Amino acid sequence: MFRIFRYFENLVDPFAPHDPATPPATVWAYLLSQYGNFRRWMVWMALTGVVVALIETGLIFYTGRVIDLMDGAEPSAFWGRHGLELALAAFFVVALRPFAIVLNHFFLEQTLSSNMQDQVRWRAHRHMLGQSSGFFQNDFAGRLSNRVMQLGPAVEDSTYMAFEGIWYALTYVIAATVLLGQVTPWLALPLLIWLAFYIAYTRWVAIRVATASEKWSDARSLVTGRVVDAYANIESVKLFSQGAREEDYVRSAMRRHRLRFQRFLRLMTELSFGQNVLNGLLIVGVLAPALWLWTLGRVSVGEVAAASALTIRLNGMSGWIMWVTIRLFEHAGVIREGLRSLSVPHEITDAPGAPALRIGRGEIVFDDVSHHYGKGVGGLDHVSLTIPPGQKVGLVGRSGAGKSSLVNLLLRFRDAEAGRILIDGQNVAEVTQDSLRAAIGMVSQDSSLLHRSVRANILYGRPGASEEDMIAAARRAEAHDFILELEDPRGRTGYEAHVGERGVKLSGGQRQRVAIARVMLKDAPILVLDEATSALDSEVEAAIQNTLYGMMEGKTVIAIAHRLSTIARMDRIVVLDQGRVVEDGPHQALIAQGGIYAGLWDRQSGGFLAET
């Protein structure tokens, strides 16, 4: 039996290669984009569903025949006349009916349900990973993750219920109408009239439910986003004694969620009332004519019993079908809400057929680069700068001068609005992003870590590195000794200890040293340091500075620092002011020049560059 389960489960690979295009923005188009792997098997889901529905309808109708057989035969002669027929019917019920039902469920549950959720989430996650850094800076991480996670169940459950509920019910109603019509059209007619009212009413309510569901889902995502935001910044919440403020912030979102959920539930109550009125009309509308026709001798007792059984069964089924329909529209609202984030095209994309960056000497050229973040002011303004291979350049400037903008454009976290950035003569906008960033090692001021082991975080720089190389990088970053003393709440120690979300279980200095070890292990030909040692105490910083200078050998280096003493030994210092290069030269030459750099050097306190 286990092999049968595995066979149907493996008919579809949810992680198979797929078209990485931006997902469609409409619900139906998005659903179709997810069905490619399943289309072949959906035919079988539909066929087996029809067979099951016909069997169920026929079984109910056959009970009417059994009643007529009983009514027209002597008990002593009943089995002799009809025993073979009833034995075949029993075999059908005991053997063939379960086989058809279980085959239908194999396709629906093992093939569809066990794979669809993961496929939807996997593809959504892949698309999200391709978004630019700015995309994530403009939204709650909690809301984005909630939308990705909700999409899977919404798509899977919608598809499952479309086959298990709507398709089955449609087949059942058509079969019941045909069977009743064969008895007399007067029994089929009220069923058709009821069906028309039922569809109209369900559609009317379902459209309102879809709107209410989308608003409810949006409110739910907002609550998740605010809760996760508070948890991710819990130290700031406690440091500034803002627990009450965070409670109010989340409570306001929860109040909105409660209001929208209540509106959704009002529709459910309305639906229940209307459904029961329609079901009452169905029972009276079919059984009353059946009894009247029986009194006229136009139908038999068994046919009245069959009509009654079909109607009672449809009465119970109608509530379920209406609930399924409402769930479908509810899921449509959830999918629409999720597509607000998912159907957004990637802002930064590789050019079609883009080659990988080929690193030779490591020369960097900023050719008349401008970038104002779409505002026309701020950022960078006509910056031209050439960094020869192997040169170490310090980047200096007050906050807002454009230092981070220059680095972000080099890494292609954003595309320059004007000008070009070249590495060894290759435009960074024309090579693949992965190859570009693989050639650049960066240590930033706030290097966050993954909530994984220390080993996994360091090996992130070069996953195929040996244990010896990893430990050597940790030693060079002055991290090996404290790593050996680590232990997490689950008892994992040393390099196996987990560091918490964004590395919160480590001190700022420890986190920075692990990040530096990661970049050392990466050993990229271009190195970018953005306040790389600002989180370290003076003793550790002095030890790591020597290591960093050793790591710079043979590399092209850009180092951003407010603490000017950390870059005074660079080959060259470039001063940015209001998005332009205003000074350029070695430390001593700039001091002698008596310009902005000299003034900053004079005003710094303890080697730290003042903001004004």
How wide is the angle at C-alpha 296 spanned by C-alphas 293 and 299, nearest 5°? 50
Q: Which residues pair with 605 in a beta bridge?
A: 608
Q: Does 390 share its domain with 456? A: no
**CA 208 to CA 330: how far, in whole Å?**
10
Band of pLDDT at residue 611, cut at 50, 70 and 90: very low
The tens digit of pLDDT for each residue in 557-572 reads: 999 887 787 788 889 9
Q: Does 81 share its domain with 206? A: yes
In this prediction, residues 21-33 reach a mean pLDDT of 90
Can you tell me whether residue 572 is helix, strand or coil? strand
Residue with the larger pLDDT of the pair 401 and 42: 42
Q: Does 392 share its domain with 254? A: no
C-alpha separations of 522 from 443, 465, 512, 558 in Å? 11, 9, 15, 16
What is residue 610's predicted lDDT score, i.e. its pLDDT?
45
Residue with the larger pLDDT of the pair 354 and 92: 354
Residue with the larger pLDDT of the pair 293 and 580: 580
What is residue 310's predicted lDDT score, i.e. its pLDDT?
74
The CATH number given to whatever domain includes residue 535 is 3.40.50.300
In a domain, residue 12? The reply is no
Q: Does 474 share its domain with 609? A: no
- Give the count of beta carbons closer than 10 Å to the beta carbon of residue 396: 25
The tens digit of pLDDT for each residue in 60-100 reads: 777 777 777 776 667 767 777 777 877 888 888 888 888 88
**CA 315 to CA 64: how far, in whole Å?**
18
In a domain, residue 2? The reply is no
- SS3 string, 404-430, reads HHHHHHHCCCCCCCEEEEEECCEEHHH
In a domain, residue 348? The reply is no
Band of pLDDT at residue 573, cut at 50, 70 and 90: very high
Residue with the larger pLDDT of the pair 182 and 527: 527
**CA 209 to CA 203: how far, in whole Å?**
10
Band of pLDDT at residue 605, cut at 50, 70 and 90: very low
Q: Does 198 share its domain with 159? A: yes
Please answer whether residues 518 and 457 qualify as being in contact, where contact means their C-beta atoms are separated by less than 8 angstroms.
yes
In a domain, residue 46? The reply is yes
Please answer whether residues 581 and 368 qualify as being in contact, where contact means their C-beta atoms are separated by less than 8 angstroms.
no
Residue with the larger pLDDT of the pair 103 and 321: 103
Residue with the larger pLDDT of the pair 311 and 485: 485
Chain-centroid distance of CA 351 in Å reads 25
In a domain, residue 246? The reply is yes
Residue type, 597: Y
Please answer whether residues 542 and 478 qualify as being in contact, where contact means their C-beta atoms are separated by less than 8 angstroms.
no
In a domain, residue 457? The reply is yes
Please answer whether residues 501 and 233 qualify as being in contact, where contact means their C-beta atoms are separated by less than 8 angstroms.
no
Band of pLDDT at residue 530, cut at 50, 70 and 90: confident
Which element (helix H / strand E) includes 300? none
For residue 230, pLDDT beyond 50: yes
Residue with the larger pLDDT of the pair 236 and 222: 222
What is residue 606's predicted lDDT score, i.e. its pLDDT?
43
Band of pLDDT at residue 536, cut at 50, 70 and 90: low
**CA 550 to CA 527: how far, in whole Å?**
12
In this prediction, residues 577-606 reach a mean pLDDT of 84
For residue 537, pLDDT beyond 70: no
**CA 245 to CA 239: how far, in whole Å?**
13
Q: Does 556 share its domain with 597? A: yes
The tens digit of pLDDT for each residue in 477-509 reads: 888 999 999 888 888 899 999 988 777 788 877
**Measuring CA to CA, which residue among 464, 478, 471, 512 is closest to residue 494?**
471
What is residue 609's predicted lDDT score, i.e. its pLDDT?
46
pLDDT above 70: percentage of residues in the chain:
94
**Measuring CA to CA, which residue among 547, 540, 539 is closest to residue 511?**
540
Band of pLDDT at residue 217, cut at 50, 70 and 90: confident
For residue 366, pLDDT beyond 90: yes
Q: Does 151 share its domain with 205? A: yes
Per the structure, the complete domain to which residue 464 belongs is given by: 449-511
Buried b / exposed e over 20-33, threshold 16 CB at 10 Å, is eeebbeebeebbee
Q: Does 566 share its domain with 477? A: no
What is residue 275's predicted lDDT score, i.e. its pLDDT?
73
Residue type, 2: F
For residue 108, pLDDT beyond 80: yes
Q: Does 223 share its domain with 280? A: yes
Q: Does 50 share its domain with 159? A: yes
Band of pLDDT at residue 136, cut at 50, 70 and 90: confident
What is residue 7's predicted lDDT score, i.e. its pLDDT?
92
In this prediction, residues 337-343 reach a mean pLDDT of 87
Q: Does 256 share its domain with 327? A: yes
Please answer whether residues 4 and 102 qualify as being in contact, where contact means their C-beta atoms are separated by less than 8 angstroms.
no
Buried b / exposed e over 277-306, threshold 16 CB at 10 Å, is ebbeebeebbbebbeebeeeeebbebbbbb
In this prediction, residues 519-537 reach a mean pLDDT of 81
Domain end: 307, 342, 377, which one? 342
In this prediction, residues 503-524 reach a mean pLDDT of 85
Band of pLDDT at residue 436, cut at 50, 70 and 90: very high
Q: Does 61 share its domain with 162? A: yes
In this prediction, residues 381-408 reach a mean pLDDT of 89
In a domain, residue 586? The reply is yes
Can you tell me whether residue 346 is helix, strand or coil? coil
What is residue 176's predicted lDDT score, i.e. its pLDDT?
75
Domain end: 292, 316, 342, which one? 342
Q: What is the mean pLDDT of the chain?
A: 83
Domain end: 289, 314, 342, which one? 342
Which element (helix H / strand E) includes 143? helix 141-161
In a domain, residue 423? The reply is yes
Q: How many CA atoms lie within 13 A of 102 on its CB side?
A: 9
- Split into its structural domains, the chain has a count of 3
For residue 608, pLDDT beyond 90: no
What is residue 568's predicted lDDT score, i.e. its pLDDT?
82
Band of pLDDT at residue 420, cut at 50, 70 and 90: very high
The CATH number given to whatever domain includes residue 42 is 1.20.1560.10
In this prediction, residues 328-342 reach a mean pLDDT of 84
For residue 601, pLDDT beyond 80: yes
For residue 172, pLDDT beyond 90: no
In this prediction, residues 110-133 reach a mean pLDDT of 90
- Read off the DSSP letter of residue 503: G
C-alpha separations of 475 from 138, 305, 537 in Å? 38, 85, 17
